[in-house]
Amino acid sequence: MMGRSRKLPLTLALSPLAGRGDMPQLGLGACGLFPSPRARGEGGGSRMRGFVSRLLLILFILVPIPAFAVNPDEMLKDPALEHRAREISAQLRCMVCQNQSIDDSNADLARDLRVLVRERLTDGDSDGQVLDYVVSRYGEFALLNPRFSAKTVILWVMPIAALLIGILALVIFIRTRPSQRSVAALSAEEKARIDDLLGK
């Protein structure tokens, strides 16, 4: 494979291994590597969450989602469909790479998945159905944005919980602080002493 893999986001730079051709894209039998067809009966929750996350995504930074490794010959004629394909691709993990979406990857498996996504879309699948299909074939590991479920509950709830706990802690902090410092009623002894000092 002559892919220049996406070598490394060099934030810490110093890997002797990263980027050596033998590392990121070993076998392409990834279909065999992660074969966890999971029966996904419940779709309602995920659709709801999909809607919310899409809304947030639109609300948020990445309005136009750029594509990277997609090749001209893979692209769909219909621009709307192609746009959807890109959005889906950005959420799917290239499973033989390191933390890359199939949209960013040059690996053959990523290419196969991109083509698969486009085939399903042309067959009239909705975005959710395409994602469900990929998950049924490759497991949850394929999703870069994990679905809300029993096993990801901590992941999703954590930011909100941390924020709430933080706010709660602050409220308690603010409420209790002044009372600590504010004048405690004088004890009988103190009163006596003041009276004494004032010469009463």
Partner 1 sequence: MIVELGHYALVLALATALIVSILPMIGARRGDVALMTLGTTGSIALFLLVALSFGALTWAYVVSDFSVNNVWENSHSMMPLIYKYSGVWGNHEGSMMLWLLILTLFSALVAVFGRNLPETLKANVLGVQAWIASAFLFFILLTSNPFLRLNPAPAEGQDLNPVLQDLGLAVHPPLLYLGYVGFSVCFSFAVAALIEGRIDAAWARWVRPWTLAAWTFLTAGIAMGSYWAYYELGWGGWWFWDPVENASFMPWLAGTALLHSALVMEKREALKIWTVLLAIMTFSLSLLGTFLVRSGVLTSVHSFATDPTRGIFILCILALFIGGAFSLFAWRAPMLKAGGLFAPISREGGLVLNNLILTVATATVLTGTLYPLVLETLTGEKISVGAPFFNMTFGLLMLPLLIAVPFGPMLAWKRGDLLGALQRIYVFAALALAAGFVFAYLKGGGPILSIFGLALGFWGMFGAIADLWYRGNFGKLKFSVAFRRLAGLPRSAFGTAIAHFGLGVTVLGIFAATTFGTETVVDMKQGATVNAGGYQVTFDGMKDAAGPNYTEQRAHFTVREGGAVISDVWSSKRLYTARRMPTTEAGILTMALSQLYVSLGDPIDGGGMVVRIWWKPFILCIWGGALVMMFGGFVSLSDRRLRVGAPNRKAKAVKAAKPVMEPAE
Identity of the residue, 124 or 180, whose beta carbon is nearer to partner 1 in the bound complex: 180
Binding-site member from 41, 42, 44, 61 for partner 1 (CB under 8 A): 61
Token output for 70:
């997609």
Interface of this chain with partner 1, residues 121 to 180, rule: CB under 8 A:
139-146, 151-152, 154-155, 158-159, 162-163, 166-167, 170, 174, 177-178, 180
Residue 26 interacts with partner 1 (CB under 8 A)?
Answer: no
Paired tokens of 75: 């692209």
Span between the terminal Cα atoms of the chain, in Å: 98
Residue 32 CB, nearest approach to partner 1 (Å): 15
147-174 b/e (C-beta count within 10 Å ≥ 16 → b) = bbeeeeeeeeeeeeeeeeeeeeeeeeee
80-119 footprint of partner 1 as x/- string (CB under 8 A): ----------xx-x----xxxx--x---------------
User: What is the C-alpha separation between 157 and 162, in angstroms, rounded?
Assistant: 8
How many chain residues interact with partner 1 (CB under 8 A)?
Answer: 71
Supply the minimum distance, in Å, between the C-beta of residue 123 and partner 1.
24
